[in-house]
Amino acid sequence: MKTKAKTRRTKTKQPISVITGGAGFLGSHLTDLLIARGHKVIAIDNFVTGSVDNISHLAGNPNFKFIQQDVTEFLFLQEAVDYVWHFASPASPIDYLELPIQTLKVGSLGTHKALGLAKHKGAKFLLASTSEIYGDPLVHPQREDYWGNVNTIGPRGCYDESKRFGEALVMAYHREHRIDTKIVRIFNTYGPRMRLNDGRVVPAFISQALRNKPVTIFGEGTQTRSFCYCSDLIEGIFRLMMSETNEPVNIGNPNEMTMLQFAREIINATGSRSRIVHKPLPQDDPKQRKPDIGRAKQILKWEPKVQLAEGLVNTIEYFRQKI
């Protein structure tokens, strides 16, 4: 079976990519990049957190096919497949607090089904993992060899542990079935197509500022994040899939700032009259988040290029049209 799948691939002139979560924020941007680089893309999504608006511009494109399906169910495709990109998952605190079981299922059963597809087709596989596997880190910045500090039974555990299990499953398939697998650990990313009410800090701050409502900071605002523009992130992920490495790789922007600094940046960028208000810090909210991207620089020759001010212009304009 595996030999036949590989034979089919060598005869395929145009690479074929399957993207689970293809109607999501990052999945849709990845779809655009792959089509621009000559791939045919088969996107799979059940619209739990994805949106048809993110892929509507691809209607009628002969290099795009969409399947509405829950990826925790059996994935059957007649086509040869060269690459499987597993992006399906709720990815914001609001989503995985409201959908803890679905979050756990897509990270476990969904990853299993996506790996099964890659195994059957003889395809390369990439897991969209997350910086959340580091939990509330005791090491700063976070390197790929850090094992993390995660509360397995806390409210964020459903997301953190589903991704950690997903990484373990990917490596098991790599070792036992010799699948060429990749793991990207995605740090905070922003850009157009984020959902206005998804609860993450960028859409939350921008939507509040555009409405001249109070910008909400949790705690004193001293917790830090680093923000990578979506086009930079997707380029890094593409390079990872095309690389020879099977080790996890951090992709993100190492320029760290406090939430208070970021709130002021958003208020200035939007020209808002908003004031900053403070609310209690949620349980297990990471105090620091900054990627060490040394491995990405060395192996992928990648580092972010888009400055925060530039990325915010595009993102704010997108949200202006949504409000």
Q: How is the chain split into domains, by residue range? A: 2-190+229-254+292-306
pLDDT (mean) for 146-171: 95
Catalytic residues: 159
Q: List the one residue out of 35, 20, 32 whose CA is nearest residue 66.
A: 20
**Separation of alpha carbons 302 and 294, rounded Å:** 9
Phi first, then psi, for residue 98 (nearest 5°) are -85, -25
CATH superfamily of 2-190+229-254+292-306: NAD(P)-binding Rossmann-like Domain (3.40.50.720)
With a threshold of 0.85, does the pTM exceed it? Answer: yes
Per-residue burial over 71-83, b if 16 or more Cβ lie within 10 Å, else e, is: bbeebebeebbbb
Q: What pLDDT score was predicted for residue 13?
A: 87
Q: Give 194 or 285, the one with higher predicted confidence.
A: 194
Residue 213 burial (10 A CB sphere; 0-12, 13-18, 19+): middle
Give the pLDDT of residue 2.
Answer: 41
pLDDT, residue 22, reads 98
189: nearest Cα among 251, 242, 256, 247: 251
Tell me the pairing of strands 16-20 and 40-45: parallel
Per-residue pLDDT averaged across 9-28, rounded?
87
Over residues 29-33, mean pLDDT: 98
CA 64 – CA 255 distance, rounded (Å) = 35
Distance CA 238, CA 300 (A): 10
The mean pLDDT of 288-303, rounded to a whole number, is: 96
pLDDT band of residue 210 (cuts 50, 70, 90) is very high
Write out the two tokens for 174: 């790599």
Strands 276-279 and 215-218: parallel
How far is residue 99's CA from residue 158's CA, in Å, rounded to a whole number? 9
DSSP track, 69-82: --TTS----SS--S
Q: Say which residue, 96 or 251, is predicted with more confidence.
A: 251
**How are strands ordered across the β-sheet holding 249-251?**
64-68, 40-45, 16-20, 83-86, 124-130, 181-186, 249-251
Mean pLDDT computed over every residue of the chain: 93
E strands of 55-123, at which residues? Answer: 64-68, 83-86
Among 115, 123, 118, 97, residue whose Cα is nearest residue 166: 115
**Residue 284 has what pLDDT?**
64
Helix H or strand E encompassing 111: helix 111-121
Beta bridge partners of 78: none
Q: Please give the average per-residue pLDDT across 123-138, as a whole number.
A: 95
* φ and ψ at residue 236, rounded to 5 degrees: -65, -40
Cis omega (within 30 of 0) on the bond before 100? no
pLDDT confidence bin for 12, thresholds 50/70/90 = low
The whole-number average pLDDT for the span 126-144 is 95
